[in-house]
Each structure stands twice: as C-alpha cells, then as structure tokens.
Amino acid sequence: MVFHQKREAGLFRHLVRFQSRSQYVPTWESIDSRPLPEWYDQAKFGIFIHWGVFSVPSFGSEWFWWYWQKQKIQPYVDFMQKNYPPDFTYQDFAPQFTAEFFDAKEWTDIFASSGAKYIVLTTKHHEGFTLWGSKNSWNWNAVDVGPKRDLVGEMASALRAHSSLRLGLYHSLFEWFNPLFQQDADNKFTTNYFPTTKTLPELYEIVTKYKPEVLWSDGDGDAPDTYWNSTGFLAWLYNDSPVRETVVTNDRWGYGSICTHGGYYTCADRYQPGHLLKHKWENCMTIDSRSWGYRRNAPLRDYLTIEQLVSTLVETVSCGGNLLMNIGPTRDGRIAPIFEERLRQMGLWLGTNGEAIYDTTAWRAQNDSLSPNVWYTYKPKENAIFAILLEWPKEGTVILHEPLATQGKTQVALVGHGSLKWEPVKPNGLRVLLPQLSFSQMPCQWAWTLRLTGAT
C-alpha cells in the first residue's frame, strides 16, 4: 500500500511537471500570454554584435551583398569595380573572414566592463552565413570556411566561464539569395521548403546547443508567421526547450508580428517612443549611426558620442525600455578601439549611476515637465525616485517640478557624492542646491543622478 502511494505521488509530480511544461499552445493568444522573465526588465542594458562575411568588405553596410548585387546601388558597384576582379563573387569574401585575432575571453572582458547584463550575437544575418557549423548550411559557415572555428560556441563558453552576462543569439529567418526561399516566395509562400529544411532546424539547433536566454529573431522576408511556423516553434521554446524558464524573445516572427506579438517589442530599429508604453520594449541601436556592421571608411562624426549614448540609455530606461547597443567587430576578430572606448565609458558611468538604471521601473512621470533634460526612474523597494540630469545646470540649482516633497521628510542626494540641500517651490516641486565641485570632484563626467527618498 505504501509502495502504491509513493508511486502515485511520483506519477502526480510527473504529471504536474509535464502540465506546467506544456502550458503554451501554438496560437498568438497563448504565446503572448507568457509572462516575460523578470531578469530581462531588471537588466536594462545589453550589447548587440553584428559580425559576419559582411565584415570583410566592411564598406557601407552589413547589407552590402543586397545593395551591390540586388539593388545595384552605385557606391557599392563602384567599390567592387575599383577593388576586385570582374568575376569576384560575394562568396569569395568568406575565406577572408579569418577571425585570427578573435579572443572570446577578451571580448567578454570588454562587454563586462560596459555594465551590460546580456549580449546578442548574430549567429546568421540575411546573407545566410552561420557563425557555427550549421548542419543545414553546407560550406557557408564559419567551421567549413574562413575561421574554421565555432565562433558562437567560443563566445558562449567564454561568457559563462568569465562573466555573469547572459547569452543572447540573433538569427535571421530569411536569407536574401537562398534558392529555396526564392522558390517559396515565387509560390507566394504556399510552399515551405525553406523554413522546414533551413530556418527551423537551425533555430532548434542553436537553442539546444548553446542555450541562449535571449533569442532575437529578424528578417521575415515579408512572409507571414504561419509560413515560418513561429507559434509552433515558440510553443516548444516556452514549454520544452532547455531555456524554457528564462528565455526571452522579441517580436520579429513574421510579417505583421512586429510591435504586436512575441515577447518584448522592438517595433523598429532605433525605436525611441519618448513616452511610457504598456508593453515591455527594447531600443536596438548602433554606435556607428550609419551601419550595424563594421565600416573601414566610417568617419569619426558617424560615431555617437558617450554623451549621446548615456542620454539614449537614460531616456530608454525612463520610458520602460531596455537598450541594446550595437558594435561591429572586424573580419579578423577585433573590437575597434572606438567601440571599446564607448563600452568602457558606459561602464564607468553605470559604475556610479547604476542604481538609477538596474532593477528600476518607470515612474509616474518620465521626464520633467518644465526643466529640460531631466529624466526619472523609480525603485519601488526603496521608494526612491531618481532624477537624472543630462546637463549640469549653469546656475548651480535645478528645479524638479514632478516630485511632491515634504520638508523634514524628503532627502536628496547626488549619487556618488552625498546629501544636498533643497527648498520647496510653488505651486509644487523643489529646488535642489547643487554643490560647487571641481572637475576632478565630480562623481562622473556625463550625466548626474539625484536620489530622492521621502517624496512621492
């Protein structure tokens, strides 16, 4: 009798576990009902990495192949005519994607120094070249051609061995010139040769092999989600995959799904609504304002300054978003000094001001109604309001119009420095008296955080 009870109890636990793992069905209504794992909203800041065969010409854009061969945009055509023989193909770039200087631990150290909490690496962009030895991408992957290395595996291993950053993987659904995709497109996506033999097997492979906690989908090729079987794949991802408890996904799972279905919303590249959204969102943007991939010919003016990057992070977090900031490594595996400098500068700023970014939520006001360049965040557990000043006021004081302060109760501090005096202003708000500090005494160099407690 005892044996039967134990066996029944074991069966019950197994059934409960099975039911809890099979709660999502392949419909958008079900998929969209999954709560976003908490770690993602708490993290706030990640690093995007665009790396591939497009890093070899490193001219114009990571869309080089498309602009050169399909759209025949003149600067790309001229570049090839001037520098390469007439019979040179895009595939001929692949052996030059050598990655001889790629050191995954060195990259990890740079990413960790930025203050980011996760990375997203391009495993395959629209060119179709995979940074791992995909079984479904014969002779068009980094193990067969070029580096002869599993670049995704090296990055995943180093990240987990030498940091607390979470691994994210980008994967393009479609491929510009894959004949199977072109055949399906010609059939108006009534056939699905390409997703069943290429896209879906690769998605299952990178999830089971590398266990990413962010799966960043892109490139629907104007095909509907039913063609990609997106809800079927996501149901597996959320129910039965090895990362089912912690994985987060975006909204690029088929034509019409962006900003509507999936995990968090991206809505558009460089998305910055400037106001609070009801749904969790991410601003994916790039330090080189004109390209996601590395450009050898990029002038300094095209790189965003650290002031611009900090401002973008602050505005994004104030409005409830995460920032995914992109770099483009070189074909030989280096992170160019300007990208490294920007990342380390972000880390310096977050080292002082991180309490106003990580684990925060949007406050009732996102920016100050009257004082320019002041953005707010909030930490409910500490009942702390953070007012982030993107510019240091010339007059030595700043008026915060949104917080309701009470004399004898409200305390204000300059993060990284100490307590400050304040006085009430009418009809509401407070005037904060900023300290007179020399440059070397400033807690940081770019944006400054006031921490308010005892205010509402």
pLDDT of residue 63: 98
Contact 266, 282 (CB under 8 A): yes
Q: Encoding tokens for residue 68?
A: 């050169």
**pLDDT, average across residues 225-232:** 98
The pTM score is: 0.94
pLDDT (tens digit per residue) in 107-116:
999 999 999 9
**pLDDT, average across residues 263-269:** 95
Please tell me the distance from the alpha carbon of residue 379 to that of residue 374, in angstroms, as a whole number.
17
pLDDT of residue 212: 98
Q: From the CB of residue 245, how many other CB atoms can be counted at a distance below 10 Å?
A: 10
Please tell me the distance from the alpha carbon of residue 50 to that of residue 32, in angstroms, as a whole number.
28
**pLDDT, average across residues 125-129:** 98
Q: Which long-range contacts (CB under 8 A, 24 or more apart) does 359-363 make?
A: 359/42, 360/44, 360/317, 360/386, 361/41, 361/320, 362/276, 362/318, 362/319, 362/320, 363/318, 363/402
Q: Encoding tokens for residue 409?
A: 């109760």
pLDDT (tens digit per residue) in 159-210:
999 999 999 999 999 999 999 999 999 999 999 999 999 999 999 999 999 9
pLDDT of residue 15: 39
Contact 201, 135 (CB under 8 A): yes
Q: Which of 425, 428, 432 is nearest to 452 (CA)?
A: 432
Q: Where are the beta strands (DSSP E) in 85-150?
A: 118-124
pLDDT beyond 50 at 19: no
**pLDDT band of 21, cuts 50, 70, 90:** low
pLDDT (tens digit per residue) in 354-390:
999 999 999 999 999 999 999 999 999 999 999 999 9
Q: Round to the nearest angstrom and report the end-to-end CA distance of the chain.
A: 61
pLDDT of residue 10: 47
Handedness of CA 179, 183, 186, 189 (dihedral sign): negative
**pLDDT band of 7, cuts 50, 70, 90:** very low
pLDDT of residue 22: 58
Question: Helix (H, G, I), strand (E, B), or coil: what is residue 272?
Answer: coil
**pLDDT, average across residues 40-46:** 98
Number of helices (H) and strands (E) in the chain: give both, helices first.
14, 15
pLDDT of residue 18: 42
CA dihedral of 385, 391, 394, 397, whole degrees rounded to 10: 0
**pLDDT, average across residues 413-434:** 96
pLDDT (tens digit per residue) in 286-330:
999 999 999 999 999 999 999 999 999 999 999 999 999 999 999
Q: Encoding tokens for residue 167?
A: 């691994």
The residue length of the chain stands at 456
pLDDT of residue 315: 97
